[in-house]
Amino acid sequence: QSVLTQPPSASGTPGQRVTISCSGSTSNIGSKIVNWYQQLPGTAPKLLIYSNDQRPSGVPDRFSGSKSGTSASLAISGLQSEDEADYYCAAWDDSLSAYVFGTGTKVTVL
Amino acid sequence: EVQLLESGGNLIQPGGSLRLSCAASGFTFSGYGMSWVRQAPGKGLEWVSAISGSGGSTYYADSVKGRFTISRDNSKNTLYLQMNSLRAEDTAVYYCGRKQDRPPGIAVAARGDDYWGQGTLVIVSS
């Protein structure tokens, strides 16, 4: 099992704000940058947030990231139907000497 | 336009070997670290391996260490993953990814993957 724990699911209606948590430890989130990925059904992952809170060009500002201590969060504001996807956090883990992905969260737009 | 195209996926018997390739175009290949990430059917993402732009530094997940080897040929703009002693649990779609060139001061393997290929399917079964 992954050392980064996410809730298996999250949901909201169009326009709502949804937040996804990612819980880790001092060997990963607590001391390393966090990246977030979006994976639409049947497609390759896409980098959504890097270095805790930075958006790559082209990513809407509805998506935001934050980090505090050994936890990180991804927020989606103004939820849209096209945001239905799986979301993964990721970070380097010094204890494992490995890049680890979170367990993943499926976002459903009701 | 950045493009990554994986190939080499196949049905292979347990204990067999396979080499995956990832052909890159649209950027200066040698200037970027690269990675392999896999996804078993119906499961989440699992990081497999990463390599620096020069090829001088490599990193592996414990689940593949000693069995898989990542390498690159910068003259051919191609990334490889040599997979030996394959097991049923290696069955997955394998994606190659390009590591970002930022932020500075952060190890390549820790950076985000900003471009991905479409994936190639490896099935290990008798």
- The first and second tokens of residue B63, run together, are 């689940």
CB B10 within 8 A of CB B83: no
Which band of pLDDT confidence, cut at 50, 70 and 90, is reported for residue B105? confident
Banded pLDDT at A13 (limits 50, 70, 90):
very high
- The rounded distance, in Å, linking the Cα atoms of B71 and B74 is 10
Chain B residue with the nearest C-alpha to that of A51? B103
Kindly indicate the confidence band of residue A105, based on its pLDDT and cuts at 50, 70 and 90: very high
Q: Using one digit for the tens of pLDDT, what is the confidence trace for A54-99? A: 999 999 999 999 999 999 999 999 999 999 999 999 999 999 999 9
- The answer to whether the Cβ–Cβ distance between B117 and A46 falls below 8 Å is no
Cα A76 to Cα A90: distance, rounded to the nearest angstrom: 17
Q: Which residues pair with A46 in a beta bridge?
A: A38
| B60: chain A residues, CB-CB within 8 Å | 98
**In whole numbers, what is the pLDDT of chain A averaged over residues?**
97
Q: Is the pLDDT of residue B47 over 80?
A: yes
Q: Is the pLDDT of residue A1 over 90?
A: no
Buried b (16+ CB within 10 A) or exposed e, A11-28: ebeeeeebebebbbbebb
Q: Is the pLDDT assigned to residue B124 strictly greater than 80?
A: yes
The count of residues in chain B is 126
pLDDT over 90, % of chain B: 94
The predicted pLDDT at position A74 comes to 98
Question: Do A51 and B119 lie within an 8 Å CB cutoff?
Answer: no
- Chain-chain contact of A92 with B109 (C-beta, under 8 angstroms): yes
Residue B32's CB: how many other CB atoms inside 10 A?
Answer: 23
The pLDDT of residue A3 is 94
Q: Which pLDDT does position A2 carry in this prediction? A: 83
Is the pLDDT at A17 greater than 90? The verdict is yes
Bridge-based pairing of strands B113-116 and B120-124 is: unpaired
SS3 assignment, position B110: helix
**Angle (nearest 5°) at CA A45 between B46 and A74:** 90
Q: Tell me the C-alpha distance between B74 and B56, whole Å.
A: 12
**In angstroms, rounded to a whole number, what is the distance separating the alpha carbons of residues B61 and B120?**
19
Q: A69: which strand partners?
A: none
Mean pLDDT of B15-41: 98
- Segment B53-72 shows an average pLDDT of 97
For residues B100 and B110, give the distance between their C-alpha atoms in angstroms, rounded to a whole number: 9
User: Is it the case that residue B79 has pLDDT exceeding 80?
Assistant: yes
Nearest to A110 by CA among A84, A86, A92: A84
Contact at 8 Å (CB) between A49 and A58?
A: no
Average pLDDT of chain B, as a whole number: 97
The DSSP bridge pattern shows strands B58-60 and B92-99 to be unpaired
Amino acid at B11: L
Q: pLDDT band at B65, cuts 50/70/90?
A: very high
B111–A contact, CB cutoff 8 A: yes
What pLDDT score was predicted for residue B103? 86
